[in-house]
Chain A
């Protein structure tokens, strides 16, 4: 079973509108972290936002916020006031933490290709 599911392969959004990118996850661990990355055509992975499983408040970073619904195992990314430069691939990812303090590598979803239209 997929650990990270992103159901929107592509999205077209009008500039200045808000956009929500969906992400659901599957884990039996109590301790984990959820990440969102942006990947422009250059290929670099740009970190956007992080939510820990024990964080009670939704994470926010500038125009990015993470709508964390733990019971539903969802971690949607919300981008407010979208800009043309937001056009890129967006990946949701999860990192599971073991009791020894170590951490696994990231498991990524398939991504959403977001295109902002003027």
Chain B
């Protein structure tokens, strides 16, 4: 199957700082990328949908000014958690899609805010 990478895999940051997470599709062009969040022992919750070259669409309750998403190319989307707080600590997973069916997940990024 297609390969999607995420970087970093783990990050620890201090409260008030910003953290950028990259999601790359390595062997296909992803017209759409999705960002999910997963709290411990919970399900994945869709945060936003990003299409290359256009603004991201955020799910209800997700602050777009806090979670900045940029999808600058067909192989790269970034999620920036601005002014991070301990409650933003979570597992963030991206997925990439080139069509209506396929959706390939990255390995996830574990964010800890101290």
Q: Please report A residues at the B interface, Cβ cutoff 8 Å.
A: 33, 35, 37, 42-45, 47, 50, 52, 91, 93, 95, 97, 101-111
Contact = CB atoms under 8 A, between A and B. Distances in A.
Given A43-B91, A43-B107, A109 B43 contact: yes
Contact of B43 (A101, A102, A111): A111
B110 A108 contact: no
Contact of A102 (B59, B91, B100): B100
10 contacts: A44-B107, A45-B95, A93-B44, A103-B100, A104-B49, A105-B36, A105-B46, A105-B59, A106-B95, A111-B43
Contacts, number: 57
Contacts of A102: 32, 100
- Majority SS of interface residues in chain B? strand
Contact of B49 (A45, A91, A105, A107): A105
Contact of B100 (A45, A101, A106): A101
A116 B100 CA distance: 34
Interface of B: 1, 32, 34, 36, 38, 42-46, 49, 59, 91, 93, 95, 97, 100-101, 103-105, 107-108, 110
Contacts of A93: 44
A103 B42 contact: no
Most A CB within 10 A of own CB, among B32, B49, B100, B108: B100
B105 A44 contact: yes
A47 B93 contact: no
Contact of A108 (B43, B97, B100, B104): B43
Contact of A44 (B1, B59, B100, B108): B108
B91 A91 contact: no
B44 A50 contact: no
Contacts of A103: 32, 97, 100-101
Nearest to A50: B101
A89 B79 CA distance: 26
A106 B46 contact: yes
Contacts of B1: 47
